[in-house]
Amino acid sequence: MLYKTIAKPVLFRMDPEKAHHLTIDGLSTAARIPGAMALLRGMYGVAESKELAMELWGIHFPNPIGLAAGLDKNAKAVTGFSSIGFGFMEVGTVTPKPQAGNELPRLFRLPPDLALINRMGFNNVGIDGMVENLRQTGKRRIPLAINIGKNKTTPNEKAEDDYRACIRALYEYGDFFVVNISSPNTPDLRNLQHGDDLSRLLAAVTEEMAAQQAKHSAAAKPILVKIAPDLNDDEVAYTIHTIQNSGVSGVIASNTTISREGLTHPNKGETGGLSGRPLTERSTRLIYQIYKATQGKLPIIGSGGIFSAQDAYEKIRAGASLVEVYTALIYEGPGLLQSINNGLRELMRRDGYTHISQAIGAAHRGN
């Protein structure tokens, strides 16, 4: 309530990117103030429940709702986001070298459409900057995924070198990793979702993950691939077949879309990736396709247009084991997480489930 009545009106009068930085910097600063995180947990924290806690890839998730990549690009506010009810979070996308990203303005709100368009272009502090931020974060309360990408100036034929560099530098800091090959804002990046480029890239990252596991004498860490919602049916089938054969641990469906179907706000003409409510059905449909194509054997994190418990539940029923939010957090505020968790419990009980995992893929079973 405080967010919608006080914070949101102020933030929405600001330039979107300035509001973004204010939020991240504010959470980062608050983490260093004694008692501030306890206050946040008291206001927005979500108590772990046996019904929603998940075990996946040997990782314990206190609830299935995560923060998607792109909000905390540089891992500056991990402690803050860990205190408002998330069950896990992604940081990044990070690239080996720092890069400024695309020219301003590059982030746009579409309030009537409950959407955002961004063309940020992987602006980030690079792997050394993220390492320093994660060192300062110390012990974490929830699992952390690190979303990795290539620098804009790196040609696709050398992309694997960038992904390897990210894994080498950050392996000890992440609980799992996400290969981003689906942002529409880095030239030719989406071409890595197809053909020999994808096979070669995934062979390289799985090899590097194994090498780092051996080096650190650690348990194997999962690596997932994040794909676009704009693939046609044949492309989805081929991409998922390649991903499944590569030995990676799962897939995130999906990234932002370049579609502008159904938008009403004047900002619909801006170039970039669209997120939010217009992506809800598109991403759920993609999750359904992936689950069906893999017979439920490849874990899926569902992302795109989740504004309610019903949205999250439909993605879980379509085949997602976990889900992520981003744009809805901007529009609804941190109270969204309590609302989704409470609503999920009600929905699963309505359907006779005692644990949320029983709902995964239920749409394929006709129940």
Segment 3-55, tens digit of pLDDT: 989 999 999 999 999 999 999 999 999 999 999 999 999 999 999 999 999 99
Residue 366 backbone class (left: φ over 0; alpha: ψ -120 to 50; beta: rest): left
- Average confidence score pLDDT of the chain: 95
How large a percentage of the chain has pLDDT more than 70?
A: 99
| Residue 330, helix vs strand vs coil | helix
Question: Does 182 score more than 90 pLDDT?
Answer: no
How much is the pLDDT for 195? 67
Q: From CA 105, how far away is CA 17, in angstroms rounded?
A: 8
Contact 321/294 with Cβ under 8 angstroms?
no
- Mean pLDDT, range 220-241, rounded to an integer: 93
Using pLDDT thresholds of 50, 70 and 90, give the confidence band for residue 184.
Answer: confident
A 10 A CB-CB count for 123 gives 17
How much is the pLDDT for 367? 66
How much is the pLDDT for 33? 95
Q: From CA 299, how far away is CA 109, in angstroms rounded?
A: 32
A 10 A CB-CB count for 85 gives 26
The sheet that has 115-118: what strands, in order across it? Answer: 107-110, 115-118, 273-276
Least confident of 94-98, 155-159, 183-187, 346-350: 183-187
How much is the pLDDT for 139? 87
Residue 105 main-chain phi, psi, to 5 deg: -75, 155
CA geometry: angle 337, 227, 330, nearest 5 deg: 30
Partner residues linked to 124 by β-bridges:
99
Residue 92 main-chain phi, psi, to 5 deg: 105, -170
Q: From CA 225, how far away is CA 231, in angstroms rounded?
A: 14
Residues 114-167: pLDDT tens digits?
999 999 999 999 999 999 999 999 889 999 999 999 999 999 899 999 999 999
Residue 313 main-chain phi, psi, to 5 deg: -65, -40
Active site residues: 183
Q: Residue for token digits 């990676």?
A: 248
E strand or H helix at 88: strand 88-94
Q: Give the chain's radius of gyration (CA, Å).
A: 19
Residues 287-326: pLDDT tens digits?
999 999 999 999 999 999 999 999 999 999 999 999 999 9
Residues 237-282: pLDDT tens digits?
999 999 999 999 999 999 999 999 999 999 999 999 999 999 999 9
Question: Does 185 score more than 90 pLDDT?
Answer: no
Contact 267/110 with Cβ under 8 angstroms?
yes
Domains of the chain by range and CATH? 2-359 (3.20.20.70)
How large a percentage of the chain has pLDDT more than 90?
A: 90
Using pLDDT thresholds of 50, 70 and 90, give the confidence band for residue 349.
Answer: very high
Helix ranges (H only) for the chain are 2, 8-11, 16-30, 36-44, 78-81, 126-137, 159-170, 195-216, 233-246, 280-294, 309-318, 327-332, 335-350, 362-365
Residues 197-218: pLDDT tens digits?
889 999 999 999 999 999 999 8
How much is the pLDDT for 252? 97
Structure tokens at 284: 């759920």
Q: From CA 127, how far away is CA 115, in angstroms rounded?
A: 30
- Mean pLDDT, range 74-86, rounded to an integer: 97
Question: Does 354 score more than 90 pLDDT?
Answer: yes
Structure tokens at 138: 């110390």
Question: Does 103 score more than 90 pLDDT?
Answer: yes
Question: Does 181 score more than 90 pLDDT?
Answer: no
Q: From CA 29, how far away is CA 354, in angstroms rounded?
A: 40
Contact 52/343 with Cβ under 8 angstroms?
no
Using pLDDT thresholds of 50, 70 and 90, give the confidence band for residue 1.
Answer: low
Q: From CA 110, how far away is CA 115, in angstroms rounded?
A: 5
Q: From CA 296, how far away is CA 282, in angstroms rounded?
A: 19
How much is the pLDDT for 363? 97
